[in-house]
Amino acid sequence: MRTLNIAIRYTIVTTILLGIVYPLVVTGLAQLLMRDKANGQLIVRDGQVVGSALIGQGFTSPRYFHSRPSAAGNGYDATSSGGSNLAQSNQALVTRIDGDVAAWQKINPGQPVPIGLVTTSASGLDPDLSPADALYQVPMIAAARHLPEATVRSLVESHIQGRQFGFLGEPRVNVLELNLALDDLQEK
């Protein structure tokens, strides 16, 4: 009984310290020192939040670079993150990819589609494309916006983020930032 008494009191005391005080201290420090990052790096245009630099969005118009396919809800649902969880041996995966490949090859006949552009990410909210995924879409964007391909291509190249510190992770392009830059380009 004495142990039970200790256990109950101990659980309450430590819940207050580690379950409430600790996260509030970290929240306070983070808000004080790095408010923008602690709040999700929201991008504001004309006084309105257009998205987060970290959370991918689905794009459907040929005027915008498309993100990777997404298994989060109905696509890029940021309250329902997750992957497709389809196995490589699942017919449904192969059928889905074959369909996406056929659609992309209508735009770039005969050119194999980069793997990133036809696979869903783990979170369903991948904010990035690989450089190959982005460059593959240049002809589509250039045609829809009546821009020279070279202009769009150099915009993509200027948005490639290299490996962090030169060796960590993979090179990538942030889709939302790239698309906002596209809009800016034409407003000028």
Partner 1 sequence: MTANGWLQFVVYFIVLLVCIRPLGIYMARLFNGELHFLRPIENLIYRASGVRTDEEMNWREYAGAMLIFSFVSLVLTYLIERLQHVLPWNPQHLPAVGALLAWNTAASFTTNTNWQAYSNDVTMSYFTQMAGLAYHNFFSAAVGIAVAIALVRGIARRESKTIGNFWVDATRTCLYILVPLCIVFALALVSQGVIQNLHPYTIAHTPEHQTQTIAQGPVASQEVIKELGTNGGGFFSANSSHPFENPTPFSNFIEMFLIFLIGGALTVTLGRMTGSPGHGWAVFACMSILFAAGFAACYWAESQPNPALHHVAQQTSSLQAGGNMEGKETRFGIAHSALFATITTDASCGAVNSMHDSFTPLGGMIPLINIMLGEIIFGGVGSGLYGMLIYVVLSVFIAGLMVGRTPEYLGKKIESYDVKMTMLYVLIFPLVILTLTAVSVLSHAGLSSLANNGPHGFTEILYAYVSTAGNNGSAFAGLNANTPWYNVSTGFNVLVGRFLMMIPMLALAGNLARKKSIPPSPGTFPVNTPLFTILLTGVILIVGALTFFPALSLGPILEHLLLQHGTLFS
141-180: which residues touch partner 1 (CB under 8 A)? 163-165, 167-172, 176, 179-180
Q: Total residues contacting partner 1 (rule CB under 8 A)? A: 108
The nearest distance, CB 144 to partner 1, in angstroms, is: 13
CB 161 within 8 A of CB 54: no
Closest distance of CB 21 from partner 1, Å: 10
Q: Which two tokens stand for residue 58?
A: 């689905």
Q: Which stretch binds partner 1 (CB under 8 A): 52-60, 137-145, 147-155?
A: 52-60
Query: Measured from the CB of residue 61, what is the shortest distance to partner 1 in angstroms?
Result: 6
Stretch that binds partner 1, among 30-38, 137-145, 146-154 (CB under 8 A): 30-38
Q: Determine contact, residues 84/78, Cβ cutoff 8 Å.
A: no
Segment near partner 1 (CB under 8 A), from 128-136, 138-146, 147-155? 128-136
Indicate whether 118 belongs to the interface with partner 1 (CB under 8 A): yes
Whose CA is closest to 175, among 145, 141, 149, 146? 141
Tokens encoding 23 = 């996260």
Using an 8 Å Cβ cutoff, are 77 and 148 in contact? no
C-alpha distances (whole Å) from 99 to each of 21, 42, 79 are 52, 34, 27
Q: How far is CA 11 from CA 2, 23, 124, in A?
A: 14, 17, 37
Q: Which of residues 58-117 bind partner 1 (CB under 8 A)?
A: 58-61, 64, 68, 72, 76-94, 97-98, 101, 105, 112-116
